[in-house]
Structure 1
């Protein structure tokens, strides 16, 4: 299993953000690891799963956001009895063996260890070693929580409920922000918004701002239809109104453009669900 290689630098940045610290020493103290560990993770491009799990259970940030940068930094409702700091780390690493294996099996709804081995591409001997040594398979725990959506506290510690109610996107939420500058989408942190006024369910909302307009775009919608879309043309992005035409053609319109082209000639990035017009 991977220790979150290939995106380790981004994971470390989100660990800083989750704990609200600015130095590697402060992050190491929050995670109860030696002060040089964080720089070593950066050099190896690998973040250990124990740090991922501890951060989520310590701070309540969204696991999907912490590992993949997806969705927003949302807190879920946690039990008041949850430990923290060194005691939490000790409990995580001591909850191995047969108990955590049973919860992993339940999360995947497997009845046979063979099913789990086939899914993970590991041998039955590896699973037997987990049981014999009371080993905590941290990478498997994180991957299982990401894939199945079960609560990480329940999966890692056996506390709370298997499925926990998360803060819905319709409540106060921080969503990713991008600035649209000369056809390029540039990272611009997070944007606080209450999405109660939007009736539809948003899967991957992003706030996009230009010099004259701003939009809330659901980046999870890619099947083109009539409406307003964030769209790329020859690598340059802008927001356009699209009307479907016969023969897989589309009519494309915005404030300064009006043309017809094939649907395959453009890149759909997401559907606009809300538009704001700046009045200067």
Structure 2
């Protein structure tokens, strides 16, 4: 169920939780390719290859390995509004209309009419969208399910710590997991992939009739997030409220809503990424004997870290000093 006020998903029964806890076992390979041929009313795989921007060789590999192309199916779902239940499992085929966003929506789909209506689709069918990935996706899901930490996230999704670390390092979008969340909860793919919501979601799987009304038209929006705001005075760090930032700003700066924060000092506002605690070069938030400050740190060729102050440099004592994060963006009054 979706808590409209707080934009939180609540797992309401064991079946839904079971869906979240297991990797999707769905159609793949030849079955999916034939399904797409029927959906778009195409004559052959050459037309399909041209339409979706995937080589015939890749399509042949998917068929040989019985692969489920989750990104492609999510892309088609976002572009056309065709249910992901149909794309993954073949459910309710008679109700699907790949041209429902086009004018008129009752055209007979084929290679020619689809190409004529490409601008009517919500997203490009030919190429992947600029999906969010890595830390932003993980933090979005942690917040969505009101989890305390990533340990609970791993328990809910059965995703290993190694996979989560790999997603973050490579900024990967976990398409199978997003499809799983969408099918289990009804949260729109537009929100899961981009943090935004424009059109109503599908009804979620395995929810009773008494609760279905809460998930058919969720008012999920995530254009604005809150980061904790601190001030530093005489070495003391004190929380002074929250700072509202847009989804795009978070994404551009590589910030996360659960751990990262901002520091207001004099005429500048510093955005701190708490995941970066290894010094290379730049401004960092650090404390010496619990006295906080922001300064320029640099690791020099001798392998040691120094505090840089103009032309001067001072050795950095790692025994008495703790790095709390790196400054990834600065707003400055002029």
Structure 1 length-normalised TM: 0.50
Tell which structure's C-alpha radius of gyration is larger.
2
